[in-house]
Amino acid sequence: MLCLPRHRSIRRILLGSLKTTIFALVVIFGVVPIIFRYTYPIQRSLIFLNFVNYPALTQFQTPQKYGLKGTRNFHITTDESIRLGIWHVLPSKFHNSSEIEEEGFFLTALGSGDPVVVYMHGNSGSRASTHRIELYQLLSNLGYHVIAFDYRSYGDSTNESPSEQGVVSDSLFVLSWTVERVKGAPLFVWGHSLGTSVSSHSLDILSQKGLHPTGLILEAPFNNMRDEIREHPLARVFRFLPWFDFCFADSVGENNLLFETDKHLRNIRSRVLILHAEDDKIIPFKLAKKLYESTVQGRSPHFGKVKFVKFEGKWGHGHKWICRSPDLPNVIRYLFILYTLT
């Protein structure tokens, strides 16, 4: 009889723990999915990650502090009154010019016939993120102009809530600004991660206007947002739920966050180069392969060729660091020259 109070105490603890566990499971697997489905601002924030600012307190007006030589910081304002922050990185052959501080020098150089890359970054950070700067430096050393900009709500651009249509609109404005100034020089568009879908969507729209850049480079792409959500590491804990698609995959599409790269690539005449690392943990390699296969099968044979370059997982490039691959310069030299001459 003396043991009964102790047994009752243990029973109460176990019952309390069970109730807490059940409550936590209901919240995690029931409430969280419902909140995600019906809260567009949460969907938008998790896709764009525009609230993640790094490096902190970036001084965009002095890009040389981040190791960029021959770089001009400036802004342009779109037809929607969105002010976009831009860096123009010159080819390295111009870095020692005595006129490099003059705005006119940059504009003249941009129209000198050297190839130009317009870079569209992925989510989070800004045009000053380390892996992005390393790519600009590489392209500059290979003889390319780089036009790198921040979409609305990123960097020092206007703090307007992003949407797929909004960032595509910003990208189209930058592309139009660039096309007017390059005077027929080879023009490439390079997108990374989320920027691969933004760039594909933008070029789809341009193609409908009869404008076809020399080439489109997609670094760490996915085929569409629906599949990316299913495969994302954060989704694994929810993927077994019968209501997963209803709450997660379907809901973003209903809010026009489609990012259908596979659909857009079918309409783009430009040559396409896909780069992806096998050890990418953010966007699985298989999604890039799926994108490549659907593009090859779905595009007109009269359109530019599609090339896929795999970076082996043993090198540890992951999602962001293909820019550090010793093979990348040769890939760029060979394919960019091929795209320019054929």
Distances (CA, A) of 131 to 127, 203, 238, 281: 9, 24, 31, 16
- Residue identified by tokens 């105490």 is 9
Instruction: For residue 157, report the phi and psi dihedrals to the nearest 5 degrees.
Output: -80, 165
CB hemisphere CA count around 260 (13 angstroms): 10
Q: What gap in Å lies between CA 282 and CA 257, rounded to an integer?
A: 18
Q: What gap in Å lies between CA 58 and CA 55, rounded to an integer?
A: 6
Active site residues: 193, 280, 319
Token pair, residue 282, equals 């953010």
> In what side-by-side order are the strands of the sheet with 145-149?
71-77, 83-89, 145-149, 116-120, 187-192, 215-219, 271-277, 306-311
Token pair, residue 94, equals 């111009």
Query: How distant is the alpha carbon of residue 6 from its chain centre?
Result: 59
Segment holding 107, helix H or strand E: helix 103-110
Token pair, residue 23, equals 């409550």
User: Do 112 and 143 meet the contact criterion of CB atoms below 8 Å apart?
Assistant: no
